[in-house]
Amino acid sequence: DQQVKQNSPSLSVQEGRISILNCDYTNSMFDYFLWYKKYPAEGPTFLISISSIKDKNEDGRFTVFLNKSAKHLSLHIVPSQPGDSAVYFCAASFLYNTDKLIFGTGTRLQVFP
Amino acid sequence: GAVVSQHPSRVICKSGTSVKIECRSLDFQATTMFWYRQFPKQSLMLMATSNEGSKATYEQGVEKDKFLINHASLTLSTLTVTSAHPEDSSFYICSAPRPGQGSDTQYFGPGTRLTVL
Average pLDDT value for chain A: 93
Give B29-53 pLDDT, tens digit per residue: 988 999 999 887 778 899 999 998 8
Q: pLDDT at residue B102 above 60? A: no
**Is pLDDT above 90 for B103?**
no
- The whole-angstrom separation of Cα B57 and Cα B55 is 7
- Closest residue of chain A to B59, computed from CA coordinates: A100
B13 touching chain A per CB within 8 A = no
Q: Do A44 and B113 touch (CB under 8 A)?
A: no
Residue B1 has pLDDT above 70, yes or no: no
Task: Please answer yes or no on whether B43 and A106 come within 8 Å at the CB atom.
Answer: yes
Query: Is A99 in the B-facing interface, judged by CB distances under 8 Å?
Result: yes
Cis peptide preceding B40, ω within 30 of 0: no
- Cβ-based contacts under 8 A for chains A and B: 65
Q: Are B43 and B93 in contact (CB under 8 A)?
A: no
pLDDT of residue A94: 86
pLDDT, average across residues A67-92: 96
Cα(A15)–Cα(B100) distance, integer angstroms = 38
Do the Cβ atoms of A3 and A92 come closer than 8 Å? yes
A5 CB burial (10 A radius; 0-12, 13-18, 19+): middle
pLDDT above 70 (res A17): yes
Q: Could you tell me which residue, A46 or B20, shows the higher pLDDT?
A: B20
Q: Is A65 on the interface with B (CB under 8 A)?
A: no
Residue predicted with more confidence, A99 or B65 = B65
**pLDDT band (50, 70, 90) for residue A2:** confident
Taking alpha carbons only, the member of B113, B115, B114, B97 closest to residue B105 is B97
- Residue A58 pLDDT exceeds 80: yes
- For residue range B55-69, list pLDDT tens digits in order: 999 999 999 999 999
Name the more confident of A15 and B107: A15
Q: Which residues of chain A have a CB within 8 Å of the CB of B34?
A: 99-101
- Predicted confidence at residue B99, as pLDDT, reads 72
